[in-house]
Amino acid sequence: MTFFRGHIIGLLLGAAAFTVAPVASAQEGSSVSLAVDQMQLAAELNLRNGDVERALAFADALLLRDPNDVTALLVRAHALRIMQRYGEARIAARAGWQLAGEDGQKFTAAMLMAQAFSADDKRTRAQFWLRRARDVAPTQQLSARATQDFRYVQQRNPWQTQLSFTLAPNSNINNGSARDSSSLLYDFFTPIFGDNEVELQASSKALSGVEAGLSVQSRYRFRQTEFRAHDLRLGMSYRTYRLSQSARADLAEEDAERVIRGEPAGGITGSDFAYGTVQLGYGFRQLRQDRRGEFSAVADVGQTFYGGARYNSFLRAQLGQSYYASRSTKLDFGLSGDLRQAQRGGDQNTYSFDTGMSRKLANGDGLFTGLSLSTATSDRARLEYDEVALRGGYVLGREVMGTGLRFGLNTSFRDYDVSPHDPSGRREFEIGAEVTATFRQIDYLGFNPTLSLRASHTDSNIGLYDVNRVALSIGIASAF
């Protein structure tokens, strides 16, 4: 990590607490008495000149007088780090952090903690302390310095982890129909005779509620050269729901009607729609020799869970190629396959081709577009489909009242050749929109809160599959 020694020493000088109580000199054989401010200055100057052992001796002498001398603790931490005594350096820096009375001292202590961790190959913890340093930085220049060092350490950290969470109201947690009735030929695989326009039960219609979710995606880069990288990938995610009061009332009414007909009650709760995944995989990346693009290959195996039980196992693979046509325009191409073996329902294999373009405009805004073509095969004909999807978005380069804004649109058409409810098959047209606000004026440890509003409408030739969905989610995003 590229910390400049003079920069740290300057901070130490600024953090000194000037008093006049006499302290014996740390130099052997000397009978000279120095004031505390002189001792602090001597320790810092020796550190600046590279005489770390003498600087450490002065710092220790100061700490014999006052174990809470913050400047002496910071000098000691810096000297011990240079001497590669990283554990002791962290103890001194942590004590300085805890005792610091001003942001300048706390910033220096946090930077020294980060140094000691990074030099000891503990880069994830170094990143945490660099976030703390940025959080207490007394000037914009020092904040930028902590951010720059964070990025430097992050690039060299074999571990990278992305943590996200969701807490949001959702108008349709069960992917239920927006219709009250639908033309059906079967009801739970039982043929319907006569008029096939059937009133949908509450459990088949949209149920509202609150979604809570957590996702952890991590990779360990076990080998890297100038142009190639090999990663071990780990991932887990889980989301569950709590039904709204109106949804619970509708389901209770349905259960009462079931009991009257002599049928068992459904007893549906929000956790019946809970969905989770665990996965393990390998990733490969290779830069072009001209550094104008990157080839990537990813393979993951995993297991999904639905309603607390195993749902399907999957093998997923993806090939991608990016290319910078210019400094402002990036092109992306990808092929992927997703093979699923079901523990419930039917097996399904999905193959996709994706292409996209992102461009930074002259005014600093960003524009992105994309096209996806997919086909799905299955051991059950009703699960097979072809799909074409378009997406696009716009990112404002300037903040609006301290808030970054991102807008997105998407549309897709999906065609099922076979449906149990219509001899002609099933066709769905979906359109959706999203806006995400990142509140950059609210910053804690380099994280900003985000608020996303998503809405979509699916129109199908079978009313059961007409779906409206509106969701508002709260999350966090790294500021750097």
Residue pLDDT, tens place only, 432-441: 999 999 999 9
Instruction: Give pLDDT, residue 1.
Output: 44
- Asked if residues 443 and 147 have their Cβ atoms less than 8 Å apart, the reply is no
> Has residue 72 got a pLDDT over 60?
yes
Instruction: Give pLDDT, residue 281.
Output: 98
Say which range, 2-16, 200-214, 363-377, 466-480, has the weakest mean pLDDT: 2-16
Cα–Cα distance, 265 to 268 (Å, whole number)? 9
Q: Of 438, 417, 447, 464, which is closest to residue 188 (Cα–Cα)? A: 464
> Has residue 8 got a pLDDT over 80?
no
Domain boundaries, the chain: 5-157, 160-478
The verdict on pTM exceeding 0.85 is: no
- Asked if residues 202 and 249 have their Cβ atoms less than 8 Å apart, the reply is no
> Which residues, at least 6 apart from 263, have a Cβ–Cβ distance to it below 8 Å?
none
467 burial (CB, 10 Å; 0-12 / 13-18 / 19+) is buried
**Which of 26-30, 191-195, 275-279 ranks highest by mean pLDDT?**
275-279
> Which residues, at least 6 apart from 48, have a Cβ–Cβ distance to it below 8 Å?
5, 6, 9
> Has residue 41 got a pLDDT over 90?
no
Q: Of 296, 369, 358, which is closest to residue 325 (Cα–Cα)? A: 358
pLDDT band, residue 142 (cuts 50/70/90): very high
For 47-76, what is the mean pLDDT?
90
Instruction: Give pLDDT, residue 6.
Output: 45
> Has residue 14 got a pLDDT over 50?
no
Structure tokens at 471: 């969701």
Cα–Cα distance, 278 to 378 (Å, whole number)? 23
> Which residues, at least 6 apart from 287, have a Cβ–Cβ distance to it below 8 Å?
226, 227, 228, 293, 294
160-478 falls under which CATH superfamily? monomeric porin ompg (2.40.160.40)
CATH architecture of 5-157: Alpha Horseshoe (1.25)
pLDDT band, residue 17 (cuts 50/70/90): very low
Give a three-class secondary structure readout of the chain: CCCCHHHHHHHHHHHCCCCCCEEECCCCCCCCEEEHHHHHHHHHHHHHCCCHHHHHHHHHHHHHHCCCCHHHHHHHHHHHHHCCCHHHHHHHHHHHHHHCCCHHHHHHHHHHHHHHHHHCCCHHHHHHHHHHHHHHCCCHHHHHHHHHHHHHHHHHCCEEEEEEEEEEEECCCCCCECCCEEECCEECCEECCCCCEEECCHHHECCCEEEEEEEEEEEEEEEECCCEEEEEEEEEEEEEEEECHHHHHHHHHHHHHHHHCCCCCCCCCHHHHCEEEEEEEEEEEEECCCCCEEEEEEEEEEEEEECCEEEEEEEEEEEEEEEECCCCEEEEEEEEEEEEEECCCCCEEEEEEEEEEEEECCCCCEEEEEEEEEEEEECCHHHCEEEEEEEEEEECCCCECCEEEEEEEEEEEEEECCCCCCCCCEEEEEEEEEEEEEECCCCECCEEEEEEEEEEEEEECCHHHCEEEEEEEEEEEECC
What residue has token string 């740390």? 26
449 burial (CB, 10 Å; 0-12 / 13-18 / 19+) is middle
Give the alpha-carbon dihedral of 113, 114, 115, 119, to 10 degrees.
Answer: 110
Terminal Cα distance for the chain, rounded: 17
Phi first, then psi: give them for residue 264, nearest 5 degrees.
-70, 145
Q: Tell me the torsion sign for CA atoms 11, 15, 20, 21.
A: negative
Angle at 219 between CA 215 and CA 225, to 5 degrees: 155
Q: What is the largest CA-CA distance in the chain?
A: 111
CA separation, residue 75 to residues 13, 362, 465 (Å) = 10, 48, 68
> Which residues, at least 6 apart from 322, have a Cβ–Cβ distance to it below 8 Å?
293, 294, 296, 330, 331, 332, 333
- Asked if residues 283 and 267 have their Cβ atoms less than 8 Å apart, the reply is no
> Has residue 268 got a pLDDT over 70?
yes
Residue pLDDT, tens place only, 359-383: 999 999 999 999 999 999 999 999 9
What value does the mean pLDDT of the chain take? Answer: 88
For 245-267, what is the mean pLDDT?
86
Residue pLDDT, tens place only, 403-417: 999 999 999 999 999
Say which range, 7-16, 149-158, 175-184, 242-251, has the weakest mean pLDDT: 7-16
- Asked if residues 388 and 415 have their Cβ atoms less than 8 Å apart, the reply is no
pLDDT band, residue 387 (cuts 50/70/90): very high
Cα–Cα distance, 441 to 310 (Å, whole number)? 43
